[in-house]
Structure 1
Amino acid sequence: MGPLSFLNHLLNFLAPAFAVAVGLVACSHVFMRKRARPHGWLAPMALHFAVGAAVLAGGLAVWGRDGRMLTYAALVLACASSQWLWLRAWKG
């Protein structure tokens, strides 16, 4: 596999984590304006992307292939949990 092919595979592997991170932060700025505004956009997106990439890598390690629906469900759950912790939503 050449370097461009490897880069293409890597970007396609990480695309769901990026999409969930961007969507989650954008929705938090729409629906939870007061809590999300002080945190900005870049830091929470980087955090959620890292969490999502770790979940996708874990799913690849466990099942030996990517694209399993259980891995995507774990991706959404893990990113939503990190968003909940990031915004300290338990405080009401």
Structure 2
Amino acid sequence: MGLVASINHLLNFVGPAFFLALGLATCAHLFRQNKAGAQSFIAQVAINFIVGSAVLLAGLWLFSRDGKMASYAALVGASALCQWVLSRGWR
């Protein structure tokens, strides 16, 4: 596998984590109700992306293949929990 194909596979692997992180941070910014968030927009995207990528890597390690629906369900759950913590949702 060449360099271009390897980069393509890597981007397709972490793509769902990136776009979910971007969507969560955008929705949190749009629906914020006079709450002071703990992090800036870019920091929220970065933290959610790192958490999402780690969850996808754990799913790849656990199931020995990419693309399992359980991995994607864990990605959504972990990203939502992370955004809830970043937005200080318990207050």
Question: Partner of 2:72 in structure 1?
Answer: 72
Do the aligned residues in 2 keep the contact of 1:28 with 1:36 (CA within 8 Å)?
no
The C-alpha deviation readout for 1:27-51, integer Å capped at 9, x for no partner, is 1111115336663210000000000
After superposition, residues 6-21 of structure 1 pair within 5 angstroms as 6-21=6-21
State the TM-score, normalized to the length of structure 2: 0.93
CA–CA distance in structure 1, aligned partners of residues 72 and 8 of structure 2:
20
**Structure 2 counterpart of 1:19, one-letter code:** F
Question: Partner of 2:56 in structure 1?
Answer: 56
Select between 38-47 and 74-83 the one with higher mean Cα deviation. 38-47
Do the aligned residues in 2 keep the contact of 1:55 with 1:71 (CA within 8 Å)?
yes
The C-alpha deviation readout for 1:13-65, integer Å capped at 9, x for no partner, is 00000010000001111111533666321000000000000000000000011
Give ranges in structure 1 of 5+ residues lacking alignment. Answer: none
**Sequence identity percentage:** 47
CA–CA distance in structure 1, aligned partners of residues 2 and 72 of structure 2:
28
CA–CA distance in structure 1, aligned partners of residues 33 and 13 of structure 2:
31
Which structure dedicates a bigger proportion of its chain to helix? 1
Query: What RMSD over aligned residues (CA atoms) do the two structures have, in Å?
Result: 1.4
CA distance change for structure 1 residues 5 and 38 in 2, over 3 Å: closer, same or farther?
same
Offset of residue 69 of structure 1: 0.7
Count of aligned pairs between the two proteins = 91
SS at match of 2:66: coil
CA–CA distance in structure 1, aligned partners of residues 43 and 19 of structure 2:
15
